[in-house]
Amino acid sequence: MHPNLVKLFAAVLAIYGLYTLWLAVSQSAWFVVWSVPCLVGAVGLALSRNWSQYLYYLVALCTVVGWAVFVGFYVAPSWSRMPGQYIANLLVVGLVLFLFSVGGSIIIRQHFKHRALRT
């Protein structure tokens, strides 16, 4: 597996962590702690540390589950009163999150599996 692809996922994870940190600080929100596994995982992926793959899996899973909970609890009860474009955008975002999370997990797993076989 190409290590630059893993570094790309590390960069995206770092951007997600920084965005989460900025959002939490600017809104004085509790989820500032969520930026920690994002940023630590990003650094670990960039340095190809074996433990970092598990942080990526955790962040990917929690992000997709968080999106599903948001849709299930806040959007689904009132979906009939929402504009169609909003619902379509929300579903596209969910699909992209899901594909990015699953695809990234597969690529990262292959990277670390390949690295383990070489040593």
pTM, to two decimals: 0.85
Cα distances (angstroms) measured from residue 108 to each of 14, 35, 64, 91: 15, 20, 17, 25
Enumerate the domain spans of the chain: 3-118
Q: What is the DSSP letter of 30?
A: G
pLDDT of amino acid 119 = 61
- The CA R_g of the chain, rounded to the nearest whole Å, is 16
Mean pLDDT across 61-81: 87
Residue 54 burial by CB count (10 A; 0-12/13-18/19+): exposed, middle or buried? middle
List pLDDT tens digits, range 43-68.
999 999 999 999 999 999 999 999 99
